Amino acid sequence: MCFVIASQARQCVPTNEKRTGSLGAAATSARMKLLAGRKTIHCEKINTKFEATKVAFGNNKPKCRKFTVLREVNVEKLTSRRNQKCVHVKNLGKSKEYRNEHGEFLCDGKKLLEEAIKSKATITGIFTTSPIREKLPNDTPVYLIEESIMETLSPLKNPQGILFTCKIPDTKDPDLKKGTHILLDNVQDPGNVGTIIRSADAFGIDSVLLTQDSADPYNPKTVRATMGAIFRQNVLYIETDKLKSPEIKVIGTGNKNGEYNTLSETKLQNAVIILGNEGQGISEKLKVLCDEMITIPLSKGCESLNVSIAASIIMWEAGKEWS
């Protein structure tokens, strides 16, 4: 089985050509012959009926109208949630260990799929309840599933009709003596980690580093919060012993022994900036490595900011320095 993924092309039909069937979304799957210029493209489209005779190119100039077509896509229909491919998807959404073992992670929704395609992420499989309109990389496996199976596989209470799996990208060890890097120390909430990755991508931060006890950047909730930045931003776990080098400038957020600087008093270039746990802040183990501490001035009566908000403000200030 196969169906069309869309883009703009032209279908040429002579004035006297007979056409049968309908282009309604409710019709059944059927073979189509679509003509783009002088090239005949054969494909099938799920939920569509269409038949047309071949255009006779000659003195009679054919009439043309726009039609949506790109190429033929092979689709495998899965009818059981116990299918091994479905079990694989379910496990990717549930287990960090399983994700690391297989080197893949799970994404959901059309928006993330568009971002993955645009960022040239390695998509290893797409699971959908309806035809896909996006142009996919060649040989991308596509699986058609029923809505009941989608509800079982999706980590969302209200699935969006598309799930897909991606290869966990290869990361590069950053040069911590250059550029600006954000280190998350035991930041537990996947939504916070995802938002920080999104802001890092927006403000040109070189890398987002995580201690081993921080939330998994490839947790479905984290991935969703990044809004596609996970496909572009360098994100990796780090052993904090690497920060002990005197050549690396380490900036903490909060205060150490009551001493701190404000953002305007601190150069954020060529530094590792540490943000701590939502409730406890930076651990004492990392605080002793900090060359200086910074804080964001707040109005009276306000004790603190959400860690993702604080991180975004700091990264915006760092981005201003680079620009």
Tens of pLDDT along 211-265?
A: 999 999 999 999 999 999 999 999 999 999 989 888 899 999 986 666 788 887 8
Domain final position from 47, 71, 95: 71
In a domain, 173, yes or no: no
Reported as a single tens digit per residue, the pLDDT across 263-295 is: 878 888 899 999 999 989 999 999 999 999 999
**Is residue 113 located within the same domain as residue 229?**
no
**Is residue 65 located within the same domain as residue 144?**
no
Residue range of the domain that includes 239: 180-322
CB atoms within 10 A of CB 7: 12
Sign, Cα dihedral of 153, 158, 160, 166: negative
Average pLDDT over residues 121-135: 91
pTM of the model: 0.78
DSSP states along 195-257 = HHHHHHHHTT-SEEEE-TTSPPTTSHHHHHHHTTGGGTS-EEE--GGGGG-TTS-EEEES-BT
> Is residue 60 predicted with pLDDT exceeding 80?
no
Give the Cα separation of 142 and 106 in Å (integer).
14
**Is residue 292 located within the same domain as residue 214?**
yes
Residue 16: predicted pLDDT: 39
Please tell me which residue, 72 or 13, carries the higher pLDDT value.
72
**Is residue 50 located within the same domain as residue 89?**
no
**Is residue 100 located within the same domain as residue 149?**
yes
Domain final position from 142, 167, 192: 167
Residue 171: predicted pLDDT: 85
In a domain, 172, yes or no: no
Residue 74: predicted pLDDT: 74
Domain final position from 71, 92, 125: 71
DSSP strand pairing (142-144 vs 71-77): parallel
In a domain, 174, yes or no: no
